[in-house]
Amino acid sequence: MNHIQKMFKRLFIASALSISAQALAQTIPPLPGPITPSAKDSETFLCDVSSINEDPINRSSNLWTTAARGGKFQAISPSKIRVMSESDATAVSDVYEFYKKYAAAAYIKSPMYDRGTRSTQKFVVSKCTVDSSRATRVNLEAAQLKSYKKPSTEKDHLLIFLAFNKTPLNDERIAEMFSDDLFSSDAFERRDQIKKYAASAKSESKKASHRFIILESDLQLEPYNFDKNTFSLPNLKMDAERYSYQAVTQGKTTPPNYDLVVPAVLLSYTPKSIESAKKIERVRSKSQRLKLKTYVQVTEASNTRGPMIRATVAAIEVFSENNELLFNKTVK
């Protein structure tokens, strides 16, 4: 093959590749930027998804982290995305449609494309649940803040758990929660001890069935946002769930965990004046952690994975380290 023939062959191959690329570009949609939620997308959901199109080198990169970049769809991790939608079932459908539309585009980025449009919806997205860290629709009972009570010790929190628990819990487990003493190795004595402690705890829990309680903890407050004129509390759920308490059992008894539903309206605060903003920012900048009072309404408790109390946040108060009230906010 002479030089001229080789040159024509190269031109032919280049031309064919160019035509193929143009045809491919016409059929494959571009990777999306942030998709604006519609008016119906009034709730935020967390959806568990399969790790699709995973990068063989960077395992934290896949279809979701590449394409779900904010707005209606935001990748939290390679296997979880935050979705704005109108219901959990609609969120599942939205994620699947998003996947079918943009999976082909991800093929350009990775040879690991799994011909995804053939995958079933159940494989792509297993479930979507309300994002409790930024819920839009919450059910709260009207109550004045002075009607809320603060549990002080781990026992107080355990009594609240016992009062609202909906899962099976035998007397031995109850006794273990509330007793600092070791039970006798004598079977009859042990049985009597368990009955005694369990009966006492059940009796006390009836007096502790108060739904409105206060949790105290530290708070991480973001710097003042000049564009939005707000302070953000992005980790409010996590901060409030790390509540403090007075230990009275030498560490033997573990208090229950709280699973809080945080209304989205509480995730930011707009100061009433620039002077107020300056004051809060001055205090925030000099202290890494502020103090937080969280007013919650208990809904139920369970012992499926250890003592857990579920509650919805109704209001918050933020204080300086010197207990000066900086601001408060209530769900209306």
Q: Collapse the DSSP code of 229 into the 3-class scheme (helix H, G, I; strand E, B; otherwise coil) and give the result.
A: coil
> What was the pLDDT predicted at 17?
42
Q: How many residues does the chain have?
A: 332
Residue 22, domain member (yes or no): no
Token duo for residue 210: 């108060």
pLDDT tens digits, residue range 2-43? 555 555 555 544 444 444 444 434 455 666 678 899 999 999
Token duo for residue 44: 């935020």
CA distance 198 to 43: 42
Same domain? 126 vs 150:
no
Residue 242, domain member (yes or no): yes
CA distance 261 to 61: 30
In 3D space, the residue among 164, 169, 161 whose CA is nearest the CA of residue 257 turns out to be 161
Residue 111 has pLDDT above 50, yes or no: no
Same domain? 216 vs 78:
no
Same domain? 234 vs 261:
yes
Of 86, 107, 130, the residue that ends a domain is 130
User: Rounded mean pLDDT of 58-86?
Assistant: 88
Same domain? 108 vs 193:
no
Residue 292, domain member (yes or no): yes
Residue 140, domain member (yes or no): no
User: Rounded mean pLDDT of 140-165?
Assistant: 94
Same domain? 286 vs 151:
yes
Same domain? 109 vs 174:
no
Residue 13, domain member (yes or no): no
User: Rounded mean pLDDT of 108-132?
Assistant: 68
CA distance 103 to 99: 5
pLDDT higher for 228 or 17? Answer: 228
Residue 311 has pLDDT above 50, yes or no: yes
- As to burial, measured by CB atoms within 10 angstroms (0-12 exposed, 13-18 middle, 19+ buried), residue 230 is middle
Residue 271 has pLDDT above 70, yes or no: yes
pLDDT tens digits, residue range 36-62? 999 999 999 999 998 877 766 666 788
Residue 47, domain member (yes or no): yes
Residue 20, domain member (yes or no): no
Confidence label for 66 from pLDDT (cuts 50, 70 and 90): confident
Same domain? 54 vs 195:
no
pLDDT tens digits, residue range 198-224? 999 999 998 887 899 999 999 999 999
Same domain? 281 vs 167:
yes
User: Rounded mean pLDDT of 145-166?
Assistant: 94
Rounded CA Rg of the chain = 28
Same domain? 212 vs 318:
yes
Domain count within the chain: 2
Of 130, 159, 187, the residue that ends a domain is 130
pLDDT higher for 162 or 6? Answer: 162
Same domain? 305 vs 163:
yes
The structure's pTM equals 0.79
The helix (H) or strand (E) run that includes residue 25 is helix 3-27
Q: Which of 53-62, 135-144, 196-205, 227-236 has the lowest mean pLDDT?
A: 53-62
Structural domain that includes position 115: 27-130
The sign of the torsion formed by the CA atoms of 197, 200, 203, 209 equals negative
Residue 225 has pLDDT above 90, yes or no: yes
Confidence label for 192 from pLDDT (cuts 50, 70 and 90): very high
Residue 300, domain member (yes or no): yes
Same domain? 217 vs 311:
yes
Of 66, 101, 130, the residue that ends a domain is 130
Same domain? 49 vs 75:
yes
Type of residue at 317: E
CA distance 296 to 8: 77
The helix (H) or strand (E) run that includes residue 192 is helix 187-207
